[in-house]
Chains A and B, each alone.
Chain A
Amino acid sequence: MNTSEPSVEERDRFWVERGAKSLGVCSARQAGDYTWMKVTKSRPHVETLIKNGILLPIKGKLADGQSADLVIHRDNLSMLEQAADSAFKAERTTFLSPFDNLFWASKRDEMLWGFHRVLEAYIPGPKRVYGYYCLQILHKDRLVGRFDPKLERKTGTLILRALYLEPGVKLSERLVSDIAAAMRDFMSFHEAKELVIERSEPAVFGKKLMASISTQ
């Protein structure tokens, strides 16, 4: 294993490259966000990586319909071309921590999903819109909702203090059953036996989810 101390230059370039590669697609200024690097520091590294052909400039259509200049790591280019040919799709239904790596590029959730990830734990209670510690709901390639969980460890109860469906998301049977399956797995991971949904917007989302969980 290489244990030699790198120069600050080498480290920063490694981290910018790492960020761009792990993010898949991002704007040039977002590549450094992945390792909490200031834009003024990451910019020259992004420029060098583009000059050396390691990062490639591309154009892409964003959630608001506008096209934007983005970068991709050269190792991910064939993946992008496969995705453009629909050779693979994102198929997962899961829940994402507010600290999840998917959200490490500032504002990319809005660019690609028209979704704003929130962490309201450090906001005074009355000012919170969604809740203390919301997990985001990923369904295939969309962010479709969020919930504010609290695990009662002594009683093995997972409480959703609030559950939200994003505006414009259709509440299909498939969506509900996929989220229910993920919720059951999430409960197993927490050794929770009971689920309580205290509030749901819309209310029908919570009702259907509970029904689907109890029949699975």
Chain B
Amino acid sequence: MTTYSLSALRAVALRTQALHTANGSEPPAKPENIFQVVDQIGCVQIDTLHMVRRSHYLVPWSRMGNYNPADFDGLMFGPRPQLFEGWEHAASIIPLAEYRFQKPHQRNLREHPTNWFNRWLNDQVKKDFVPLVMERVRNEGGAEGKQIRVRGTPGGQLVELASGQGGAGVFIFPRRTHDRRPRKIPASLRSYQAGAAKMGEYQRAKC
């Protein structure tokens, strides 16, 4: 059997990661090329550390050089979303075409909740809390989590949790925080929903 050289192994490891292109020869910094990078490498990890730009913005920069981070956001929250936030290598941004691979875990959280949070969430579903929040968001569009009050309780955080269980569709939060306060729902959610609505399956709250 051939033993491949170290330089050949490194070249393949870098090229499959889109890290081989000479500086100055990158594809133009257009949204479709940002998507192409994420699609090629599968997903990018989300993390809260932000000494510089957050990691999920750095990963495409490493591969294509300067680009407009708003274009990256547009791929998630724009009128025709191609990426969503889910779970792959920890919390990650993933091509929408691979959404179905989230479903087994979501089902598991719904049917076999192992922590108080998911049990509590299931209770809220039974009380129609989640569907009511979803209806509010659908009818009135994006709002801050604390503004969405159902029976006196802020609903924003619940929407994100419901999203983890697969009930809230494919909602994504551009400025993710790991605190316990209600999360912001982006103003662009309205247009995001228009895109999500095309996938009829996801527009229904079906916890």
Name A residues whose Cβ lies closer than 8 Å to a Cβ of B: 1-8, 11, 14-15, 18-19, 21-25, 34-36, 58-63, 67, 70, 72, 76, 79-80, 83-84, 88-102, 104, 108, 112-113, 121, 132-133, 135, 138, 141-142, 148-151, 158, 178, 181-182, 185-186, 188-190
C-alpha gap A100/B40 in the complex (Å):
14
Q: Is the CB of A101 within 8 A of B55?
A: no
Q: A8-B104, A36-B89 are in contact. Are A121 and B11 (CB under 8 A)?
A: no
Q: Is the CB of B13 within 8 A of A25?
A: yes
Whether, in the assembled complex, B66 has its beta carbon less than 8 Å from a beta carbon of chain A, the answer is: yes
C-alpha gap A149/B14 in the complex (Å):
24
- Within B146-200, the residues touching A (CB, 8 Å) are 199
Q: Is the CB of B3 within 8 A of A151?
A: no
Task: Give 1 or 0 for each of B22-46: 1 = CB within 8 Å of chain A CB.
Answer: 1100000000000000001110110
A-B contact pairs, 14 of them (CB 8 A): A22-B41, A58-B2, A59-B2, A61-B5, A76-B12, A83-B9, A83-B12, A84-B2, A92-B23, A93-B23, A108-B13, A112-B13, A141-B7, A185-B23
Q: A61-B5, A102-B17 are in contact. Are A80 and B12 (CB under 8 A)?
A: yes
- Within B98-113, the residues touching A (CB, 8 Å) are 99-101, 103-104, 107
Q: Is the CB of B4 within 8 A of A189?
A: no
Q: Which of B11, B19, B22, B88 contacts A35 (CB 8 A)?
A: B88
Name B residues whose Cβ lies closer than 8 Å to a Cβ of A: 1-17, 19-23, 40-42, 44-45, 47, 49, 51-53, 55, 58-59, 61-63, 65-67, 88-90, 96-97, 99-101, 103-104, 107, 199, 201-202
Complex interface: chain A residues within 8 A of B104 (CB): 5-8, 11
C-alpha gap A182/B58 in the complex (Å):
13
C-alpha gap A90/B19 in the complex (Å):
7
Q: A112-B10, A186-B61 are in contact. Are A59 and B41 (CB under 8 A)?
A: no
Q: Is the CB of A97 within 8 A of B55?
A: yes
**Least CB separation from B13: chain A residue:** A24
**Least CB separation from A69: chain B residue:** B1
**Least CB separation from B7: chain A residue:** A141
Q: Is the CB of A18 within 8 A of B42?
A: yes
Q: Is the CB of A88 within 8 A of B11?
A: yes
Q: Is the CB of A101 within 8 A of B23?
A: no
Known contacts A18-B42, A34-B42, then 19 further A-B pairs from the complex at CB < 8 Å, ordered by chain A residue: A5-B104, A6-B100, A6-B104, A7-B104, A14-B101, A22-B17, A22-B41, A23-B16, A25-B9, A35-B89, A83-B7, A83-B8, A94-B61, A94-B62, A97-B58, A133-B49, A151-B53, A178-B23, A185-B65
